[in-house]
Amino acid sequence: MSASTRRESANIPACDLCYERKVKCDREETCENCKLAQVECRRTRPQRSLSVAERLSKLENKATQPIPE
Ligand SMILES: [Zn+2]
Ligand SMILES: [Zn+2]
């Protein structure tokens, strides 16, 4: 019995292709649109959770080593 196998994929962003085409992504490992287009299904866009500023500050933290007095 397959009672509506609802996957919790709400948080998964559309893949690059679907995002660019502004079409619905089925969020499979290789989504239908990518299969049809015969391209690699990728999600390389930066996640919203980490802003560029945050990433920069993290890098800065790494770069600035504690200078022994
Ligand atoms: Zn897609
Ligand atoms: Zn795709």
The ligand with the least distance to the CA atom of 34 is: 2
Note the pLDDT of residue 36. 97
Angle at 54 between CA 50 and CA 59, to 5 degrees: 115
Contact of 40 with 34, CB cutoff 8 Å: yes
Sequence-ordered list of residues with C-beta below 8 angstroms from that of 20, at least 6 positions apart, any chain: none
Model pTM above 0.95: no
Residues with a beta carbon under 5 angstroms from ion ligand 2: 15, 17, 31, 34, 41
Note the pLDDT of residue 66. 75
How many structural domains comprise the chain?
1
Q: 6 lies in a domain? A: no
Query: Which structural domain, as residue segments, surrounds residue 27?
Result: 16-63
Note the pLDDT of residue 49. 59
Q: Give residue 34 CA to ligand 2 midpoint distance, Å.
A: 4
Kindly compute the dihedral angle of the four CA atoms of residues 7, 9, 14, 15, in this order, to the nearest 10 degrees: -70
Q: 9 lies in a domain? A: no
6-42: pLDDT as tens digits = 655 567 889 999 999 999 999 999 999 999 999 999 9
